[in-house]
């Protein structure tokens, strides 16, 4: 099974309308190029310093923005990963979810994942949990392109999450991100390659890039990595789409020739004596 997947690298701002317009043009471009799936980065519809504005643009899952992207998927006959958006929480007016939504080409929502690891790094000026509520459900689901797993940005630093997704059958794992430049230049590609190699999966990682506002710079290097750990494509220092062919027969070959998943001894990995 082969499919053509694209990853959008963009520099989102605090202007929702501009971000929506840019996203639409990328979907049109991907459809024209015959892509089967297009993945956007984390918080691709809003990055800004105004928390009140963040709450104003947030929606519930039946909101107009979601319906718009469902319409795009159906109209352009392409699956779309809304890398993440801010989702309203009915019983919590102080916080939001950081949520990925996967829409299939029929315009139906296949999966919803709420980021479970929140980036609290006071020394770098970030405290995500101040305004975001952590999710609690790990997501793997079946799609026409294969069995897919979802994660978001800071999740990347927790290998046990990716092992769990793989144990549930994930063949392609998405990592939409707004990885900060300071840590990204040291860790972004290294961690992504490690997750691909140790789990023998495709990694699709659309990232934010550039300066969003004073004090907030994202690393870029949006990338697709194969199950052997080879970087198939990587974005330049600019907004663009990178794309690659996902070949599940190659994934099966890698796992057959080096069956590390079958060699695991998980009963020895617990803390119980």
Q: How many domains does the chain have?
A: 1
User: Tell me, what's the pLDDT at 159?
Assistant: 98
Burial 59-84 (b: 16+ CB within 10 A, else e): beeeeebbeebbebbeebebbbbbbb
pLDDT, tens digit, 9 for 90 and up, residues 172-226: 999 999 999 999 999 999 999 999 999 999 999 999 999 999 989 999 999 999 9
Question: Catalytic pick from 54, 87, 115, 171?
Answer: 115
Say what the pLDDT of residue 64 is. 96
Establish if 136 belongs to a structural domain.
yes
Is residue 273 assigned to a domain?
Answer: no
Predicted confidence at residue 273, as pLDDT, reads: 56
- The CA angle 197-202-203, to the nearest 5 degrees, is 90
Give me the CATH number covering residue 7.
3.60.110.10
pLDDT at position 115 is 98
With 0-12 CB in 10 A as exposed, 13-18 as middle and 19+ as buried, what is 24?
Answer: middle
Domain range for residue 150? Answer: 2-268
In a domain, 135, yes or no: yes
Active-site annotation holds for 115: yes
Q: Could you tell me if residue 68 is inside a domain? A: yes
Mean pLDDT of the chain: 96
Helices (H) and strands (E) in the chain, counts: 6, 16
Q: Can 42 be counted among the known catalytic residues?
A: yes
249 located within any domain? yes
Low-confidence ranges of the chain (pLDDT < 70): 272-273
Strand 37-39 and strand 2-9: the pairing is: parallel
**pTM of the predicted model as reported, rounded to 2 decimal places:** 0.97
**Catalytic residue among 33, 42, 59, 160, which?**
42
Q: Of the residues 53, 153, 233, 237, which is catalytic? A: 153
233 catalytic residue (yes or no): no
């Amino acid at each position: 099974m082969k499919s053509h997947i694209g990853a959008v690298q963009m520099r989102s701002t605090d202007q929702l309308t501009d971000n929506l317009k840019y996203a639409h043009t990328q979907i049109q471009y991907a459809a024209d190029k015959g892509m089967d799936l297009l993945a956007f980065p984390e918080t691709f519809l809003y990055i800004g310093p105004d928390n009140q504005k963040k709450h104003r643009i947030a929606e519930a899952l039946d909101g107009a923005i979601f319906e718009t992207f469902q319409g795009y998927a159906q109209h352009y006959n392409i699956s779309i990963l809304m890398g993440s958006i801010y989702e309203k929480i009915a019983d919590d007016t102080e916080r939001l979810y950081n949520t990925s939504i996967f829409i299939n080409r029929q315009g139906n929502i296949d999966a919803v994942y709420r980021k479970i690891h929140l980036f609290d790094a006071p020394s770098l000026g970030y405290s995500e949990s101040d305004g975001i509520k952590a999710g609690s459900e790990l997501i793997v689901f079946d799609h026409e392109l294969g069995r897919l797993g979802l994660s978001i940005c800071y999740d990347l630093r927790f290998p046990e999450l990716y092992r769990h997704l793989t144990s549930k059958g994930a063949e392609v794992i998405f990592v939409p991100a707004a990885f900060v430049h300071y840590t990204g230049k040291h860790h972004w590609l290294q961690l992504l390659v490690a997750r691909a190699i140790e789990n023998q999966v495709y990694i699709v990682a659309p990232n934010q890039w550039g300066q969003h506002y004073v004090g907030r710079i994202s690393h870029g290097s949006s990338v697709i990595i194969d199950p052997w750990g080879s970087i198939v494509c990587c974005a330049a220092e600019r907004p663009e789409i990178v794309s690659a062919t996902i070949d599940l027969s190659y994934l099966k070959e890698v796992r057959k020739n080096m069956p590390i998943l079958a060699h695991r001894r998980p009963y020895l990995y617990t803390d119980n004596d």
